[in-house]
Amino acid sequence: MRIVQLFIEYASHTLDRPFSYLYKGNKNLGPGFRVLVNFNHRQLVGYVLSVKESNASAEQLEEETGYHLDYLVDVIDDAPLLNEDLISLAKRVSEYYLAPFISVLQSMLPPSLSPRKSSLRAPKIAYDQYLSINHYSEESLTDKQTEILRLIKKERKILKREVGSPSVVEKLLSRGLIKIVKKEKRRLAIPNYEYQKPPLLTADQQKVIDEFNNSSDPVFLLQGVTGSGKTEVYLTLCDEELKKGHSVLFLVPEISLTPMMMEYFIRRFEHQVAILHSELTPAEKYDEYRKIARGEARVVIGARSAIFAPLANIGLIILDEEHVESYKQDSIPFYHAREVAIMRGEMHHSKVLLGSATPSLESRARGKNGVYHLLRLDKRINEQKLPATKIINLADYHNIDRDSYIFSIPLREKLSAVLKARQQAILLINRRGFSTSVSCRNCGYVFRCPTCGIALTFHKSDNMLKCHHCDYVQVMPDTCPKCGSKYLMKTGFGTERIQDEVHRLFPEAKTLRLDSDSAKVRNKIPSIIESFRKKEADILIGTQMIAKGHDFPDVTLVGIVLADIGLSMPSFRSSERVFQLITQAVGRSGRSDKVGQAIIQTYNPMHYAITYGARQDYEGFFNKEMGMRKLQNYPPYYFLTSLTVSGKKEETVISHTYSVVDYLNEHLGDKAIILGPTTPYIARDHLQFLRTVLIKYRDYLAIQNTLKELIEIYAKKSSIDISINIDPYNF
Ligand code: ADP
Ligand code: ZN
Ligand code: ZN
């Protein structure tokens, strides 16, 4: 008989402890194996922590422990999933983020290896299923079904698993409107790029590399202006580590947005590269993960969760674009890849290199006070000048005429010059869709999301109203549901509207649009970027996605159509976000031998995020913003933790949140500043009411235990849920 201690797959604070089961079978079983167990009348997956042999009978054991002990249903794996290093890392992450241990394991492992029931339907199929139209009719379909049907019609042939709404697809299939077409499966196909010899490093790049190599500091921040050649520094350091027999972990925010980065690495390191990111299919992820675990890949390129890649003997961990917020996971266990990288680096004695043109304030402050070793590349390659920027005040009537209220006269002039010179332009508007709200002219009714309460965005391409917070959609109606009036008014504009406006003003211009609507179809983003690089279009229109790390040599103009969008967001980070967006976007212009320019349209021409952004003056912005943060006790001067209480009854949520605040005040005293209860910007989530409490403090260790105790107390209450987010980003 074996006694097995295991964690249950539910990521809840109340179940975050080992449970005991018995096993009398003869399969191989040890720590790190997944098993199938009965728990509360359900069959679940458990993750084994320890196994002990015993000669006692089940009855004796029950008497000894005082518990009723169940038998395991079955053992799933024939080898442990994680090595000891990764298990210690998981423990550390779970302790720091006060997250259930199992939730960290679930984030670490690819879906088909994850300790959860759904992993058992692991992909082993050799065929891909595509959907195409069989018989087109929208008759008596729900809006969601219509949306999917229109998507399939538009794409003609689309992978079934990419449509993302299995129940809707099944409905459409059963009604014979669409059909399945089987095709042989293509697991991750890495393009066959030819090896490329490295260029000669510039003196500045060499200096940075020498300084890195001559220092024994654990964490470095490479601050290099856009186009300063940071990538080549990464590649060189990576090469050196491989030559020393080490492996390298290279993180990027979103691979699909930077296909060039992947290409550089494959050209340099060829078959040694493995790729891990969210756009891979479960089967591809499974293959890549196993390749790394077998020790066949020595360079791993990946997004956030690749920080958990089962790579051995790591010599260097690099985070490119370290300021990008997608490094922070927005659900349990709410980890930030940068912090995990530093933990992992510490455990493996490997150096960590963070890179950015616009480092996060937190990282730059640590660079300033020596917590991180600051390295700098202050000049562009070949001394190419940063683009000349111009701020256009949209409130000044000299800048606007009747031809367009969206594009100012100066922006139109520049665009037209770029088109004449056969160069390319990028137009950034940080909002997708056509118009940001729709209301009734007659009675004032505003179309809102029934789940979240926020205004719905009109999307012209499929004539739908969509919620940009949850996945609610409805077909755009012809009349007001309240008064029946036909006069519906669309206000505010997004990427689709900008594209229309460009076509109206410059009918000869070819455009491409890049936003998360285009990202709905897999591999669409890289193909849009590739197409723009090949000059198949003159103007690329998009959201912040187009500001990220791309290198388009023929782009000589970047236009930020409305720089103010982020400023009105209720967050202490809003200025930082706007500054980063402007600096990164402007940095896309004039990257080769041509001189670049940028136009920034705004109603706030004096706002410091915009003026410093326009000047690409990081230091100026940093000093100003640090002053603001100090005044308001925000990071990097204080750390933050947020607690979110949710429940079906608003009164219950409010009263519990008040008692959370009392508890914290009582136990933390002057060790922290407690703010709340606050009603969050989006106050409802899936019909749950939300309230938050924000905790500001200087020393996490001084408050960690209180937080732990608080979670334990409140996690037991059945009328509410409580979730904790250490170093949150949504404030
Ligand atoms: P960053 O990531 O800092 O914005 P990149 O790494 O994209 O900058 O480099 C900008 C451009 O300079 C790229 O086109 C890159 O190929 C080129 N480049 C970088 N290093 C060198 C070098 N040592 N010699 C020649 N060209 C280089
Ligand atoms: Zn109305
Ligand atoms: Zn919604």
Q: How far apart are CA 315 and CA 640, in angstroms?
A: 31
Percent of residues, the chain, with pLDDT higher than 70: 98
Q: Is 424 exposed, middle or buried (0-12, 13-18, 19+ CB in 10 A)?
A: buried
Confirm if 398 and 406 have CB atoms less than 8 A apart.
no
Please give the pLDDT value at position 682. 75
Rg of the Cα atoms in the chain: 27
pLDDT higher than 70, residue 124: no
CA-nearest residue for atom 4, ligand 1, is: 227
Ligand 1 pocket residue status of 231, Cβ below 6 Å: yes
- Out of 62-66, 89-93, 616-620, pick the least confident: 62-66
Ligand 1 pocket residue status of 551, Cβ below 6 Å: yes
Confirm if 112 and 25 have CB atoms less than 8 A apart.
no
Q: Tally Cβ neighbours within 10 Å of residue 395.
A: 10
pLDDT higher than 80, residue 127: no
Q: Give the model confidence (pLDDT) of 381-395 as tens digits.
A: 877 788 899 999 999
Q: How far apart are CA 695 and CA 661, in angstroms?
A: 9
Provide mean pLDDT across the span 475-504: 94
Q: Give the chain's mean pLDDT.
A: 90
Bin 635: left if φ > 0, else alpha if -120 < ψ < 50, else beta: beta
Please give the pLDDT value at position 445. 94
Task: Please give all residues whose CB falls under 5 A of ion ligand 3, grouped by chain where several chains appear.
Answer: 449, 451-452, 467, 469-470, 472
- Out of 199-208, 628-637, 685-694, pick the least confident: 685-694
Provide mean pLDDT across the span 624-641: 95
**Distance of CA 220 from the midpoint of ligand 1 (Å):** 20
Please give the pLDDT value at position 7. 94
Task: Please give all residues whose CB falls under 5 A of ion ligand 2, grouped by chain where several chains appear.
Answer: 440, 442-443, 445, 480, 482-483, 485
Amino acid at 441: R
**Strand 539-542 relative to strand 511-514, pairing:** parallel
| Confidence (pTM) | 0.85
pLDDT higher than 90, residue 63: no
Please give the pLDDT value at position 126. 44
Confirm if 676 and 693 have CB atoms less than 8 A apart.
yes
pLDDT higher at 260 or 623: 623
**What does DSSP assign to residue 72?**
P
Please give the pLDDT value at position 401. 93
Atom of ligand 1 nearest to the CA of 202: 23
**Distance of CA 263 from the midpoint of ligand 1 (Å):** 14
Ligand 1 pocket residue status of 315, Cβ below 6 Å: no
Please give the pLDDT value at position 278. 77
Ligand 1 pocket residue status of 721, Cβ below 6 Å: no
* Banded model confidence at residue 125, pLDDT cuts 50, 70, 90: very low
**Distance of CA 454 from the midpoint of ligand 3 (Å):** 7
pLDDT higher than 90, residue 523: no
Q: How far apart are CA 731 and CA 644, in angstroms?
A: 12
- Out of 22-36, 131-145, 253-267, 468-482, pick the least confident: 253-267
User: What value, to the nearest 5°, has the Cα angle with vertex 546 and ends 555 and 568?
Assistant: 120
**Distance of CA 332 from the midpoint of ligand 3 (Å):** 20
Q: How far apart are CA 719 and CA 631, in angstroms?
A: 38
Percent of residues, the chain, with pLDDT higher than 90: 61
Contact partners, residue 580, CB within 8 Å, separation at least 6? 323, 358
Ligand 1 pocket residue status of 226, Cβ below 6 Å: yes
User: Which ligand is closest in space to the CA of residue 448?
Assistant: 3
**Distance of CA 405 from the midpoint of ligand 2 (Å):** 27
**What does DSSP assign to residue 244?**
T
CA-nearest residue for atom 14, ligand 1, is: 551
**Distance of CA 551 from the midpoint of ligand 1 (Å):** 9
* Banded model confidence at residue 187, pLDDT cuts 50, 70, 90: low
**Distance of CA 143 from the midpoint of ligand 3 (Å):** 15
Q: Give the model confidence (pLDDT) of 294-329 as tens digits.
A: 888 899 999 999 999 999 999 999 999 999 999 999
Ligand 1 pocket residue status of 355, Cβ below 6 Å: no
